[in-house]
Structure 1
């Protein structure tokens, strides 16, 4: 008999993906921002290296000029020949040459001092800045760059489980809803939510890291520009005393440098890359706004769900759990209905067409069957004693389970030691038994004359 949920000659279908503004797996490169900042740091390092080379070359030139002026000094280092023809007092030719020698020596010494100052005071400013840029690059790679890899990994895991959900929801109708417990679309959907939650946490964490880097870059670039200004200012002070012409040329250079505002480059950078940088005013992602394929497929919607109490096998006490009956005809038991605290894998899974359900006694009812979630099918048949919060809840659970259960019985749970439905089944085999205690759903309903049972057998 064909199942009403899976008509014959129906090919498996898959729910189409709806295009939304907030897809489960965003079509974006999580490392794009990191690469952009990495390239920008490279540009700043090259600019800093240019200034280092310029200062170093100027230092060598100043040192060479000192040597050249020593050669110039040698031309007037000896006393004037026939010097006795000249007055040796100040104000004469001899005094003039004395002044030439002292000034030439001073020029040579000033070049040596300029070279020493450039190497010991100005050049380290740019070397330290270059080191800061290198450290910033390492920080970016180990921080935001590593976060981008974690986001990509989390997205890959989510995509894998979404595709797995798509496979089993597509095959749901063609298999008549008969799937393995761990392949139940309801379970797979909850596992997708679990992984999407972790993905969103990683995405938002990486977003915060990138936003922090982005904000720090504005301050860092202002620091770079200010360092350029400080270094060039000291450089100008060293070289301008050599000559008025040199001072004029370098004054023009420092004038251009000083006129550059700290945020000029940063503002231009933001305008050029507005489509890549993160908007601080944009909201963070939330799981409620995410949609994914087959999110609302009927196989993922429970027939009934809520909390029940189940008697333990050893301690014989009732413990509360979250239970759900799925369209795949499974009764799943979970510790909680929270999809995010841990991976929502069922603690027990009863395939109801293979199970036997007893009658309702107030808030209690029993279900006998094997745990279908156990590996290798080694689970033993066990009688599960349930207790609802109210008789109305017990009736609703009983009606839903009876609609898909393989067998029903009119026997009610005992108040003391619970009687196993196996005893009833043994009575069926016993010749002295007046009437069988367990029958198929239709036979049990007909014998008991229960209108509810009749409706249940029709559903089955």
Structure 2
């Protein structure tokens, strides 16, 4: 045996997470708020485009019925815009464009049938296609960022459920003196919380990227809408100005009013009004290492010793490497890796050490025998684990930590098989019975020998 080491020397080097910040595991925010805002804004643009479609359609009808039908055209734009608060009310924007349309429409008195035909076949489809583009953009937003917001909420609910479960079992650990079931081991639950938080953060960051992409694309999309407005009115003007000089001058004024709108005028105004709601693209993304949650550093979640060991297989007698941990709950857990994020870190095997026997150390080798904590055969099935550490010093560290919580120790080397407590008791009982039988046989032989001697003397 090596000289006992201090507690600080027992633990092998292992990966640890450093919290850069103390973010909340479940942020108190509505991830769908931005999506709803953009959805409402698209509705506003759709209604604005609808106003223009109505205007061109009504103009086409006016060309059929001349001056008196023009009163119907005026009515289509006489109402205030729906969701009007989304538009800047000062001159130079969309709201000002509609004011100009209303004033000039009043002066148009007659038109021609060919003009109506041209308006219906050439100008109106421009705005109908734009209307459909806005609808498609709304569907894209709902299926993309809207679906991502639902995924974030679902991931947060899953994380919250497992954080609460960890809190329950850390409390159970304290109240039961550290005696818990393998699947309720706070160490395992804490790693499972990390796994779900990683999925949650991935959903949050993915949704954040989607929202930023939507936010950035809206500027270009709205510029496209404004340019389409301008293009539609330009063609509209070319048609109607052919009827008369007066009509031409009035519709030219409408086009000029529309053309004066800067492509980013409404967008810049919208950003200023909603600066507190929109996402700051320069803000850093969330990371699991920056998140803090209840019982994260509870003593039951910190391993007594952890690291990689080699274990000999029973079939091929070859050693394979795995990640092993001895927890304060007195379990020896085997994992494929120490990575909490690749997949849910459930133990591949678990030994409850108070029910096990540990043999002696032989260089870098030592054996542990006991029943798998997850076995359905109860106490009738046991397994022997033949371990090999990287160095003899590492083997002594593992042996010393396990010996403090193991049920029994034996001096047997790894080549011999240490018996489980049940088998040892059974063998001891069988040995006692055999000895008692041998003693009775000896007494009978001695009595028969004395009887023969008495017979010879007689």
TM-score past 0.5 threshold:
yes
Q: Aligned in 2, Cα 1:269/1:433: closer, same or farther, shift over 3 Å? A: farther
Query: TM-score under structure 2 normalisation?
Result: 0.77
SS of the aligned residue for 1:324 comes to strand
Find the counterpart in structure 2 of residue 96 from structure 1: none
Q: How far apart, in 2, do the equivalents of 1:378 and 1:30 lie?
A: 51
Given that residues 310 and 320 in structure 1 are in contact (C-alpha distance below 8 angstroms), is that contact kept between their aligned partners in structure 2? yes
Find the counterpart in structure 1 of residue 273 from structure 2: 272
SS of the aligned residue for 1:343 comes to coil
Given that residues 410 and 418 in structure 2 are in contact (C-alpha distance below 8 angstroms), is that contact kept between their aligned partners in structure 1? no
SS of the aligned residue for 2:175 comes to coil
Q: How far apart, in 2, do the equivalents of 1:377 and 1:192 lie?
A: 30
The Cα of 1:239 is off from its aligned counterpart by: 2.5
Given that residues 383 and 421 in structure 1 are in contact (C-alpha distance below 8 angstroms), is that contact kept between their aligned partners in structure 2? no
Q: How far apart, in 1, do the equivalents of 2:281 and 2:189 lie?
A: 35
Q: Aligned in 2, Cα 1:21/1:412: closer, same or farther, shift over 3 Å? A: closer
Please give the per-residue CA displacement for 1:348-386, whole angstroms capped at 9, x wherever unaligned. 111111111112121111111111133574771222221
Please give the per-residue CA displacement for 1:258-279, whole angstroms capped at 9, x wherever unaligned. 1110001111111122222221
Q: How far apart, in 2, do the equivalents of 1:173 and 1:255 lie?
A: 77
Please give the per-residue CA displacement for 1:111-138, whole angstroms capped at 9, x wherever unaligned. 1121111111111111110011111111
Given that residues 427 and 433 in structure 1 are in contact (C-alpha distance below 8 angstroms), is that contact kept between their aligned partners in structure 2? no
Find the counterpart in structure 2 of residue 301 from structure 1: 302
The Cα of 1:291 is off from its aligned counterpart by: 1.3
Q: How far apart, in 1, do the equivalents of 2:333 and 2:22 lie?
A: 34
Q: How far apart, in 1, do the equivalents of 2:318 and 2:130 lie?
A: 70
Q: 1:378-393 residue pairs with structure 2 within 5 A?
A: 380-393=381-394
Q: Aligned in 2, Cα 1:236/1:319: closer, same or farther, shift over 3 Å? A: same
Q: Aligned in 2, Cα 1:238/1:396: closer, same or farther, shift over 3 Å? A: same
The Cα of 1:253 is off from its aligned counterpart by: 2.5
Find the counterpart in structure 1 of residue 106 from structure 2: none
Q: Aligned in 2, Cα 1:21/1:278: closer, same or farther, shift over 3 Å? A: farther
Given that residues 198 and 288 in structure 2 are in contact (C-alpha distance below 8 angstroms), is that contact kept between their aligned partners in structure 1? yes
Q: Aligned in 2, Cα 1:379/1:44: closer, same or farther, shift over 3 Å? A: farther
Q: Aligned in 2, Cα 1:360/1:428: closer, same or farther, shift over 3 Å? A: farther
The Cα RMSD (Å) is 2.6
Find the counterpart in structure 2 of residue 154 from structure 1: 155
SS of the aligned residue for 1:171 comes to helix
Find the counterpart in structure 2 of residue 81 from structure 1: none
The Cα of 1:251 is off from its aligned counterpart by: 3.3
Pick 1 or 2: higher relative contact order, CA cutoff 8 A, min separation 6: 2
Find the counterpart in structure 2 of residue 249 from structure 1: 250
**1:185 pairs with 2:186:** yes
Structure 2 residue runs of 5 or longer lacking an equivalent are 1-18, 70-108, 436-458
The Cα of 1:305 is off from its aligned counterpart by: 0.3
The Cα of 1:252 is off from its aligned counterpart by: 3.1
Find the counterpart in structure 2 of residue 421 from structure 1: 419
The Cα of 1:302 is off from its aligned counterpart by: 0.2
The Cα of 1:38 is off from its aligned counterpart by: 0.9
Find the counterpart in structure 1 of residue 232 from structure 2: 231
**1:56 pairs with 2:57:** yes
The Cα of 1:419 is off from its aligned counterpart by: 2.4
Q: Aligned in 2, Cα 1:386/1:139: closer, same or farther, shift over 3 Å? A: same
SS of the aligned residue for 1:340 comes to coil
Structure 1 residue runs of 5 or longer lacking an equivalent are 1-17, 69-107, 435-460
Please give the per-residue CA displacement for 1:210-234, whole angstroms capped at 9, x wherever unaligned. 2111111111100000001111122
Q: Aligned in 2, Cα 1:350/1:292: closer, same or farther, shift over 3 Å? A: same
Number of aligned residues: 375
Find the counterpart in structure 1 of residue 87 from structure 2: none
The Cα of 1:238 is off from its aligned counterpart by: 2.4
Please give the per-residue CA displacement for 1:176-230, whole angstroms capped at 9, x wherever unaligned. 1111101101000111111111111222122212211111111110000000111
Query: TM-score under structure 1 normalisation?
Result: 0.76
Please give the per-residue CA displacement for 1:331-358, whole angstroms capped at 9, x wherever unaligned. 1111111111211111111111111111
The Cα of 1:110 is off from its aligned counterpart by: 5.9
Q: How far apart, in 2, do the equivalents of 1:246 and 1:109 lie?
A: 8
SS of the aligned residue for 1:295 comes to coil
The Cα of 1:314 is off from its aligned counterpart by: 2.6
Q: Aligned in 2, Cα 1:39/1:379: closer, same or farther, shift over 3 Å? A: farther
